[in-house]
Structure 1
Amino acid sequence: MTDHEVIYFCNVCGNKTVTSLEVPAAPQMAQMEIQCEKCTNKTHLLLTKCPRCKQVVKYFVSDLDFPAEVRNLAKAYLSLIAGIKMKLRDVVEEFNVPVPKKWSVQLECSCGHDYTAELPLPVIAPPAV
């Protein structure tokens, strides 16, 4: 079942794509991808809708592969933490850094409702120290 029609013009070739998407109400947020049928360019979307009035919010529309970027940043973060932990092993007995479980954003709908939308972050095994 779909609830939102998206009309998209490819930023590479200009091809028009019309697609229907099922968009969850906040606090859930969906990661979606539209691929141009003509040139196969991909556009990534983060979508949610107001839990009160159900208006769809396109929070993020980009050629940037958001999930891949989050994974790459998380891996870099974990490597950095592992390096710090290794340098401190003779100084402190225990070194723990809380790792966030989700990414969230505050949104304001045109109906006046303020709400939070969130995405779970990937669980990545820490590098061996």
Structure 2
Amino acid sequence: MPKFTMRCFCCVCGKKQEYEFNVPPAPSMIQEEIVCDNCGDRTHVLLTSCPNCGKTFKFFLSDLDFMGEIKQLSGVYVRLIDGIRDSLSDYIEEFNVSVPKKWSVKLSCTCGHDYFAEIPLRQLRTS
């Protein structure tokens, strides 16, 4: 996994920060939490690197635990659909609902390669 240095400024106090991350190639993503050593502000960062050249990385900053929120929302949806299917099992033989397997975002690298980064989502129970 390539190691990258990220330099940024705290969005609360403005202090320059520097972080090092081991960043997986897409489609994998990791989420890290960066903490300002001056004011203690916490920010989540999603990271992935170009699978073609491995020399650049993309990051997404958020105050939300984005990966956790996506997985939690998909989990709630899947539990809801599983519950509906279970409650209808005496009345219907087959109940099919398509559920996305992943959340993805299309990215472009300076090397010219287009690629997708993904977060796997929870799936329905098999009957």
Range into which the TM-score falls when normalised by the shorter chain: 0.7 to 0.9
Gapped regions of structure 1 (runs ≥ 5)? none
Counterpart contact for 2:82–2:124, Cα < 8 Å? no
| Other-structure match for 1:56 | 57
TM-align CA RMSD: 2.7
User: How many matched pairs?
Assistant: 124
Residue 44 of structure 2: aligned partner? 44
Q: 2:112 maps to which residue?
A: 112
Is there any run of 5+ residues in structure 2 with no aligned partner, and where? Answer: none
Q: Deviations over 1:12-54 (max 9, x none)?
A: 2223221111112222222222112233222111111112222
TM superposition score normalised by structure 1: 0.74
Query: How much does 1:77 deviate?
Result: 0.5
For 1:52 and 1:124, the matched residues in 2 are separated by 29
What's 1:4 paired with? 4
- Percent identity reads 52
CA shift in 2, pair 1:119/1:86, >3 Å: closer
Cα gap change, 1:109 to 1:17, in 2 (>3 Å) = same
| Structure-2 residue corresponding to 1:35 | 35
Letter in 2 for 1:120: P
Normalising by the residue count of structure 2, what TM-score does the alignment of the two structures yield?
A: 0.75
